[in-house]
Amino acid sequence: MMYGAFVHYASRYNSDELVLFDVQLLRVFMKSTSSGTDLTVNDGTWHHVCFSWSSSGGLWKIYDNGILYEDGAGLWPGWKLHGGGGTLALGHLPHSSCDSDYIYIGKLTSFNMWSSALTASQVAQVAGGCFSGGDIFTWNTTSLAMSGNVSGE
């Protein structure tokens, strides 16, 4: 069972293109494939988490506070995330209604999404607040549509 889905991207082709969930031990879910980590982000301290994935070889990396935490290969090599008409939801799984098991409870800010994998140096810059926003999605609270018990801090 998933808990605390804080990033969910769905396309017209797949309702779960990309999901980052479960703040007990961070999990990544891409197109019906789940990859778990032992990274705990609900320990009462602030974390800058970066998930990086490359279609070439299916290479993925998880960074915590700008430092590589875990990596692997073979996660959907050659596949591309579908754009054009997709839906990005932060804080819940859109198809889960209001089931509290799927709603993220915590703080989320400065979410960005890029069309290519960042280098380790770029991830460190982002974690330090010294890098511009993503080219697919840039955190900008003036353009976010909020619903439920949320604030745009």
Instruction: Decide: 47 and 65 in contact? Cβ < 8 Å.
Output: yes
Q: Where are the beta strands (DSSP E) in the chain?
A: 7-10, 18-21, 27-30, 33-36, 49-54, 59-64, 67-72, 87-90
pLDDT digits (tens, 9 = 90+) for 12-35: 887 778 888 765 788 787 876 777
Domain 7-127 annotated CATH 2.60.120.200: yes
pLDDT digits (tens, 9 = 90+) for 44-59: 888 899 999 999 999 9
Look at residue 41 and tell me whether its pLDDT is greater than 60. Answer: yes
- Spell out the alpha helix ranges (H) of 7-130: 120-127
Distance, CA of 25 to CA of 64 (rounded, Å)? 13
The pair of three-digit structure tokens given for residue 48, joined into one six-digit string: 């800058």
Mean pLDDT, residues 123-142 taken together: 81
Instruction: State the pLDDT at residue 107.
Output: 76
User: How much is the pTM?
Assistant: 0.78
Instruction: State the pLDDT at residue 66.
Output: 95
Look at residue 133 and tell me whether its pLDDT is greater than 60. Answer: yes
Instruction: Please state the domain extents for the chain.
Output: 7-127
The pair of three-digit structure tokens given for residue 31, joined into one six-digit string: 């197109």
Look at residue 71 and tell me whether its pLDDT is greater than 80. Answer: yes
Instruction: State the pLDDT at residue 37.
Output: 83
Distance, CA of 98 to CA of 94 (rounded, Å)? 9
% of the chain beyond a pLDDT of 90 = 20
| 2: confidence class by pLDDT, cuts 50, 70, 90 | very low
Instruction: Decide: 3 and 75 in contact? Cβ < 8 Å.
Output: no
Instruction: State the pLDDT at residue 40.
Output: 84
Look at residue 142 and tell me whether its pLDDT is greater than 60. Answer: no
Look at residue 149 and tell me whether its pLDDT is greater than 70. Answer: no
Distance, CA of 150 to CA of 136 (rounded, Å)? 23
